[in-house]
């Protein structure tokens, strides 16, 4: 950035996005290139790439500028296209949700569905392993869990966490949001640090729930192997995957469930409470996941009546949340012969 404004000659402080005297944008040439690249990507049908260029442009614009508002609207429009937001009557969203219900419901009972999900994302999953810092943090966490549970379970648990986090990364890439590779913290889990942030509650919700969805696929695959082989290790991994992802669905703070809740209306939050109550009643003989479900129930009911909530329904987000609670609650409550986690 130049030290003086090219238009009025006033001296510029580091980090400014516009001249404080004449309001000239200080990254004008870069913004033009980003806009041109975004338009070209959109014409080629590369919506995620276009979103990435527009988000980079947004970072170079003052929040109170007219251009910032224009680019923000462009991002929201493209984001809705990426999300596949229905443009027809409300019933179309319910049909979309029903399709998701039939597909995701099979994960718990047909291992091929979960395995196919993971295999089709295999190339993407390998990308994270090329990051040196992430790989080092993964090995450190592996050693920590190895000392507690042994290497076999520790390795499976680490892979499950990794798949969960890569679900977030995959969805962030879809929306063109820059983020780091997953980083593992022994005894805590793993996290992805965002370098840019969602601009709509829908984006935030989809990014939040993507982790548990991918985690469900990993746990579902482990459960399928357990059913086929009877090996208690796979059953324990499926149960642990159900528990850890169920914990992440608690709708508070920056947990995945807290982010997923941001797009739900008050009425939809009550439906989440009812779904958690139903799986709680169905698995009442089990005890390990019951506390988690009780916490989800309490938080869901509280957020249905306290704090802010959108007025526009997010039917697809509701289907995802409810299905995750039901399927993960079921996985967390399975009986594993010879091992319990």
Domains and CATH numbers, the chain: 1-83 (1.20.58), 94-332 (no CATH)
Res. 244: pLDDT tops 70: yes
Report the predicted TM-score, pTM, of the whole model to 2 decimal places: 0.84
Give the integer Cα–Cα distance in Å for 289 and 286: 7
DSSP state of 41: H
Write down the pLDDT at residue 288.
56
Beta strands (DSSP E) in the chain are 183-185, 189-191
Sign of CA dihedral 235, 238, 241, 247: negative
At residue 332 the predicted structure's pLDDT band, cuts being 50, 70 and 90, is confident
Write down the pLDDT at residue 106.
44
Write down the pLDDT at residue 127.
65
178, with CB counted inside 10 A (0-12, 13-18, 19+), is middle
- Please report, rounded to a whole number, the percentage of residues in the chain having pLDDT higher than 90: 62
pLDDT in tens, 98-143: 444 444 444 444 445 555 555 556 666 666 666 778 889 999 999 9
pLDDT in tens, 194-241: 999 999 999 999 999 999 999 999 999 999 999 999 999 999 999 999
333, with CB counted inside 10 A (0-12, 13-18, 19+), is buried
Higher pLDDT, 7 or 37: 37
**195: Cα within 13 Å, side-chain hemisphere:** 12
pLDDT in tens, 294-308: 999 999 999 999 989
Write down the pLDDT at residue 270.
96
Write down the pLDDT at residue 39.
95
At residue 83 the predicted structure's pLDDT band, cuts being 50, 70 and 90, is confident
Over range 176-204, report the average pLDDT: 92
Write down the pLDDT at residue 223.
93
Res. 97: pLDDT tops 70: no
Write down the pLDDT at residue 203.
95
Q: Which two tokens stand for residue 161?
A: 């966490």
Write down the pLDDT at residue 126.
65
Over range 177-183, report the average pLDDT: 91
**Number of C-beta neighbours around residue 45 at 10 A:** 8
Give the integer Cα–Cα distance in Å for 16 and 26: 8
């Amino acid at each position: 950035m130049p030290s003086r404004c090219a238009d009025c000659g006033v001296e510029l402080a580091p980090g400014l996005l516009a001249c404080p005297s004449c309001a000239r944008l200080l990254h004008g040439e870069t913004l033009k290139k980003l806009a041109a690249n975004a338009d070209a990507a959109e014409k080629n049908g590369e919506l995620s790439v276009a979103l990435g260029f527009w988000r980079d442009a947004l970072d170079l614009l003052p929040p109170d500028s007219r251009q910032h508002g224009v680019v923000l609207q462009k991002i929201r429009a493209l984001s809705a296209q990426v999300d596949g937001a229905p443009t027809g009557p409300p019933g179309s969203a319910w049909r979309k949700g029903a399709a998701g219900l039939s597909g995701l419901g099979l994960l718990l009972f047909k291992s091929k569905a979960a395995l196919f999900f993971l295999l089709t994302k295999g190339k993407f999953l390998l990308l994270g392993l090329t990051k040196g810092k992430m790989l080092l943090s993964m090995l450190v966490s592996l050693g920590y869990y190895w000392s507690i549970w042994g290497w076999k379970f520790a390795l499976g648990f680490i892979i499950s966490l990794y798949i969960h986090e890569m679900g977030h990364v995959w969805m962030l890439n879809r929306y063109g949001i820059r983020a780091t590779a997953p980083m593992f913290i022994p005894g805590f889990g793993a996290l992805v640090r965002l370098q840019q942030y969602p601009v709509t509650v829908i984006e935030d919700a989809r990014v939040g729930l993507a982790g548990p969805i991918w985690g469900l696929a990993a746990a579902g695959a482990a459960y399928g192997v357990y059913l086929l082989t009877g090996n208690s290790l796979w059953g324990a991994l499926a149960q642990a995957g159900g528990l850890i992802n169920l914990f992440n669905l608690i709708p508070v703070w920056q947990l995945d469930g807290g982010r997923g809740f941001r797009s739900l209306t008050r009425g939809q939050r009550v439906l989440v409470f009812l779904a958690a109550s139903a799986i709680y009643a169905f698995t009442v003989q089990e005890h390990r996941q019951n506390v988690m479900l009780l916490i989800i129930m309490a938080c869901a009911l509280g957020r249905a009546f306290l704090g802010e909530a959108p007025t526009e329904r997010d039917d697809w987000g509701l289907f995802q949340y409810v299905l995750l609670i039901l399927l993960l609650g079921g996985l967390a409550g399975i009986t594993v012969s010879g091992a319990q986690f």
